Amino acid sequence: MNKSTIVLVGNVLIFFSIVFTLWLAVALEPTSNTILVIFGFWAIAPYLLFAYFVNLRSTTFRQSVENVAVSFICSLGGIYWEIYITMINSDAQGGLAVITIPFLQLVAFLLLRFILWGVQKF
């Protein structure tokens, strides 16, 4: 396996995560198209950061593997919580939780990247 294969796997993961997240945003049936666009952009913001790290910040094979692995963990975590909150255990506070999931994905991604950076230094 080489760096380009890992980056391709990461891009496919990110693409399907974006598609599923946008499908879920439409399934939530927002009241207007403007809200759909705003929420859709907010919901895919973490995936855009993941794509930036996978494509532009990965200079070595090791960094590519780390970025794809962290993106995979954060993507699965975010999708799991979106499904759980909106479809399995839906309640009135689910709307607030769906709004906070992208922020939590960003925090988790940056925290995991910081931990991996610290591990590399020692």
pLDDT at 82: 87
C-beta separation of 28 from 42 below 8 A: no
State pTM to two decimals. 0.87
pLDDT at 119: 86
Name the least confident of 12-16, 22-26, 84-88.
84-88
E strand or H helix at 53: helix 33-55
pLDDT tens string 27-84: 888 888 898 899 899 999 999 999 999 999 888 898 899 999 999 999 999 999 988 8
C-beta separation of 11 from 54 below 8 A: yes
pLDDT tens string 82-100: 888 888 887 777 778 788 9
Dig out the tokens for 16 from the structure.
């399907």
C-beta separation of 99 from 42 below 8 A: yes
pLDDT at 1: 80
